[in-house]
Chains A and B, each alone.
Chain A
Amino acid sequence: QSALTQPPSASGSPGQSVTISCTGTSSDISGYNFVSWFQQHPGKAPKLIIYEVTQRPSGVPDRFSGSKSGNTASLTVSGLQAEDEADYYCSSYAGSNNFIFGGGTKLTVL
């Protein structure tokens, strides 16, 4: 299976909103409502911020939201803050207890 496709970079100013896309196929993203998003700061482990397309774990600010349309999932970060500057990765179930990740998007807060 190929990795999910994410833009390598995204940026926005403090207070703005930014959306990161994650494109897959009918064998993964559009086939299941099992998309997760992870935030990773430099030198740290990834942190789960969205699961099952739209769900936020306890403690994750509601500035983070997820959605899906067809083969593409999206992560929107509203009211950008300096601490949101990080790498973001999507992941999808791909059937047969298999999971795939996107290549990651580096979010810069200008």
Chain B
Amino acid sequence: QLQLQESGPGLVKPSETLSLTCTVSGGSISSTTHYWGWIRQTPGKGLEYIGNIYYSGSAYYSSSLKSRVTISVDTSKNQFSLNLNSVTAADTAVYYCASRHGGHGPKFDSWGQGTLVTVSS
């Protein structure tokens, strides 16, 4: 059973870069069946797909966030990371990392518990 855990600062200043890491346990991030993704949820609102990455390093991003997002993978640490630059208050959200079973669309089958990131000076 895959387990995912987000980590990173809970407070980021406007215009700076939000950086989060997701540590995967119970399985290998080098799996050929899964992609590794980030999804966020603004307070009281719905879910928003950010992007996902394959163990090879091929990354795919939401068209609405593409200009500000970078997702990377570190197979030696079984981790993947999210960088979101030039943040504003609108980026305040709970950020989830999740595994996605490739070839099945949005089959996000394991999720981290989520981490709240607040953008404020």
Q: Which residues of A contact B (CB under 8 A)?
A: 1, 3, 32-36, 38, 44-48, 51-52, 57, 89, 91-93, 96-104
- Given A91-B108, A98-B60, 10 more A-B residue pairs with CB atoms under 8 Å apart are A32-B105, A34-B104, A34-B105, A45-B113, A45-B114, A51-B105, A92-B105, A92-B106, A101-B46, A103-B45
Question: 1/0 contact trace for B40-68 toward A, CB 8 Å?
Answer: 00000111110010000000101110000
Q: Which of A47, A89, A97 contacts B46 (CB 8 A)?
A: A89
Range for the number of chain B residues in contact with chain A? 20 to 34
- Of the listed residues B63, B108, B109, the one surrounded by the most CB atoms of chain A closer than 10 A to its CB is B108
| Residue pair A52, B96 in contact (C-beta under 8 Å) | no
- Of the listed residues B47, B52, B62, B109, the one surrounded by the most CB atoms of chain A closer than 10 A to its CB is B47
Residues on the B chain within 8 Å of A44, using CB:
113
| Residue pair A1, B63 in contact (C-beta under 8 Å) | yes
| Residue pair A101, B47 in contact (C-beta under 8 Å) | yes
